[in-house]
Chains A and B, each alone.
Chain A
Amino acid sequence: MAKYTLTNRQKLSPSCLLFTLEPSGERGIGFEPGQYVSIRFKRYGRPTPARCFSVVNTPNNAGTLQLGVRVEGKFTTAFSELAIGSELIVDGSFGQFYFDPDYDKKSVLIAGGIGITPILSIVKGAIARRNKNPLTVLYSCRSQDDVPFAQELYDLEQKNANVRVVFVITSGSLTRFPAGAHVMNGRITPELIAQACQDDYENTSFFVCGPQGFMDKIEKTLRANQTPDWRINIESFVQAHASRDGGFGAAARKIFSVYGMAAMGFFVVLSVIFGTDIYHYSAAAASAQPATSQTTSGTSTTQSTTPAQTTPTQTTPVTTNDTSSNSNASSNSSSSNTNSQTTTTPTYYQTYQRPVSSVS
């Protein structure tokens, strides 16, 4: 247990916030990228129950924790209203949902919505440790308006040859993604997963995090392809009650790592990160039959490695003709909270950035 102070709150998307917590004392808690912590605080002078959230950032000397949270229940609403400077109690870290470079020689990380948080941490952790194992992220969101960490993921891909990120947007336009991003309309289909792992289910580690229905479908696909149990790492969030409201004590989070079960068994902790009915992955969606996938980069068009069973990728350059320099695009970085950049090409932010007046 450690005391932390809420030092920043940043809007990631219309429904998601990024909270930054700094240790109140000298030391924070340690964690592996992909793990989660539980937090509690006082509201109206009374302690709240504890709730668990995945850590988004990578371990650092300062002990900083960053938590990406979708605000949709009483606890998360209360959390979102907590004053900057408030104190919290943090327990942890917990969970077996993390990357081991010795075992996970190549990995496909599959996220639905805010389930991206532990996966982003894993990717950043691997990069920070200079690990070169191939990491492919398949990231599904309902619309381009609600894609937490989109810019940061794109930047990670641009700067690391072993990282590949494919944004899969259920519906709507794709105009806000940076040029060169791998973006497609539709769902994460069995074909897309096959493409991502190059049909090598035996030697690919899968990390899956998202709403329950989403993960059920992914797991079904993996098992249908004889993926070894120990290759499947699933971090799931389930509601303890039917209520989506997620009131204090209303929800439970189940951490289910097939590989980790022998060591940790079945682990249940409270959480309200997801409502179970946010995403609906239908069989019809999974069998969508688009033609080919293409990405445009600058003025050239290149064939993407995304699978044939998708809609054509649409990437939209920013507002100048020179779209090739977007690798320097300003990051919505959760870890750096900085907008600094050197590009002379304007770039769209993927998530809302609050205005800050500061000495410049």
Chain B
Amino acid sequence: MSVLQQTKTALGTDAVLTLSLDKAADAIFSELWQYIDNFEQSFSRFLADSELSRFNLRAGDTVPVSNEFKQLLLATNEMSEETQGLFNPFILPALQRVGYEQSWVDPNRIGPDFSKRKIVSWKSLTIGTSDAHIPDNSAIDSGGIGKGFLLERLAELLATHAVKNYWISLGGDIIARGKMDGQELWEIDIAQALDPRKPAASVYVPETGSIAIATSGVTKRKGIKDGKNWHHIIDPTTGESAQTDIMSATVCLPSAVRADVFASCIVACGSTAYRTFADEHGIEDVMIQTHDRVEIVGNLIRGAHV
């Protein structure tokens, strides 16, 4: 059994596929990359002809959607409901207004401008059998859930190939299963918020089942616009970058979608409220980093200095 790793830029970040297997891997790698590429082409807001952009351009209409898009929208609605709107896909106009207008890795990718549109209630997204609808003058973003959703699809794809030992990272959101070489536990580092080259903690992937680890924060995808600092985690109640003292939050859960969404929600909660949010949503393993401390909850995450 050997460990093979491939990497490339995808979804505006570094993607890494790591497979531990005893058979030819090239075809599996190709299939995974193809899936990732297709996903990006379909659901990037920075591509004018993506299905997401075309859907937003037709806001107010009931628009036929692909099955993949429908599944993504269903997951979006589910998470919006579970967080009671703290996760809201309609924050795209606010994201563009604060300053997040173009792709982080390719400034030439901008996508349609929806900055003049409004944030509406998460309940405004309606999904039919093969179509969906959002209100006129609104627009949705897949950024808060897309990587988690994609990680779960990739894991399903690997299951069809009977690959049981792997980890996949999409810009630091990770899904992992099994062991390295079928023997050694995968160990995942959690980076320091201010210096991602250095680990703040680590997680051993449990021997059974898969685990997803998502980290969100305000230390990247940020900037200054009109003299005002912004970051990409939007408070849907204000339409502004969330006021928070948490620099980064890491969540470990079996579901990559939930980990992805909850990590951003915890950042938005701030350090005084995040424990309540975590308790209410069954998040047992979480870590936050503020300017002056690191807090680890649960047994899965181990501090780097322990």
Taking beta carbons and an 8 Å cutoff, which residues of A are in contact with B?
Answer: 7-8, 83-85, 145, 176, 318-320, 330, 337-349, 352-360
The 8 lowest CB-CB distance pairs between A and B, nearest first, are A360-B171, A358-B191, A359-B217, A349-B5, A358-B172, A346-B8, A360-B172, A346-B6
Pick from B7, B176, B196: contact of A349, CB below 8 A: B7
Chain B CB within 10 Å — which of A84, A345, A356, A358 has the most?
A358
Given contacts A341-B8, A343-B8, A359-B248, contact A319 B305 (CB under 8 A): no
CA A330 – CA B30 in complex, angstroms? 18
CA A8 – CA B174 in complex, angstroms? 20
Pick from A83, A145, A320, A339: contact of B14, CB below 8 A: A339
B1-31, CB < 8 A from A: 2-9, 13-14, 16-18, 26, 29-30
Given contacts A8-B197, A319-B26, A342-B105, contact A357 B190 (CB under 8 A): yes
Pick 20 A–B contacts, CB within 8 A, sort by A.
Answer: A7-B197, A320-B30, A320-B33, A337-B197, A341-B7, A343-B8, A349-B7, A352-B3, A353-B7, A354-B189, A355-B167, A355-B169, A355-B188, A356-B169, A356-B188, A356-B189, A356-B196, A357-B214, A357-B215, A359-B191
Q: Is the CB of B8 within 8 A of A359?
A: no
Shortest CB-to-CB span from A181 to chain B, Å, is 16
Q: Is the CB of B172 within 8 A of A330?
A: no
CA A126 – CA B16 in complex, angstroms? 31
Q: Is the CB of A358 within 8 A of B190?
A: yes
CA A340 – CA B13 in complex, angstroms? 8
Contacts of B186 in A (CB 8 A): 355
Contacts of A340 in B (CB 8 A): 14
User: B123 near A: Cβ within 8 Å?
Assistant: no
Pick from B9, B188, B196, B221: contact of A342, CB below 8 A: B9
- 4 additional A-B pairs beyond A345-B8, A360-B13, beta carbons within 8 Å, are A337-B197, A347-B7, A355-B188, A358-B172
How many A-B pairs have beta carbons closer than 8 Å: the answer is: 126
CA A354 – CA B7 in complex, angstroms? 12
Given contacts A83-B305, A355-B174, contact A348 B4 (CB under 8 A): yes
Q: Is the CB of A352 within 8 A of B5?
A: yes
Q: Is the CB of A341 within 8 A of B14?
A: yes
Shortest CB-to-CB span from A55 to chain B, Å, is 18
Pick from B7, B29, B189, B218: contact of A339, CB below 8 A: B7
Binary contact track B92-125/A, C-beta < 8 Å → 1, others 0:
0000000000000100000000000000000000
Contacts of B187 in A (CB 8 A): 354-355
Contacts of B8 in A (CB 8 A): 330, 341, 343-347
Q: Is the CB of B16 within 8 A of A344?
A: no
Shortest CB-to-CB span from A92 to chain B, Å, is 24
Shortest CB-to-CB span from A172 to chain B, Å, is 11
Contacts of B42 in A (CB 8 A): none
User: B193 near A: Cβ within 8 Å?
Assistant: yes
Q: Is the CB of B191 within 8 A of A357?
A: yes
Q: Is the CB of B6 within 8 A of A347?
A: yes
Contacts of A320 in B (CB 8 A): 30, 33
User: B219 near A: Cβ within 8 Å?
Assistant: yes
CA A342 – CA B107 in complex, angstroms? 13
Q: Is the CB of B250 within 8 A of A357?
A: yes
Shortest CB-to-CB span from B167 to chain A, Å, is 5
Which residue of the partner chain A has the closest CB to B187?
A: A354
User: B304 near A: Cβ within 8 Å?
Assistant: yes
Chain A CB within 10 Å — which of B5, B14, B196 has the most?
B5
Which residue of the partner chain A has the closest CB to B180?
A: A352
Q: Is the CB of A360 within 8 A of B215?
A: yes
Shortest CB-to-CB span from A178 to chain B, Å, is 11
Contacts of B16 in A (CB 8 A): 339, 349, 353, 355
Q: Is the CB of B198 within 8 A of A8?
A: yes
User: B85 near A: Cβ within 8 Å?
Assistant: no
Contacts of A337 in B (CB 8 A): 197
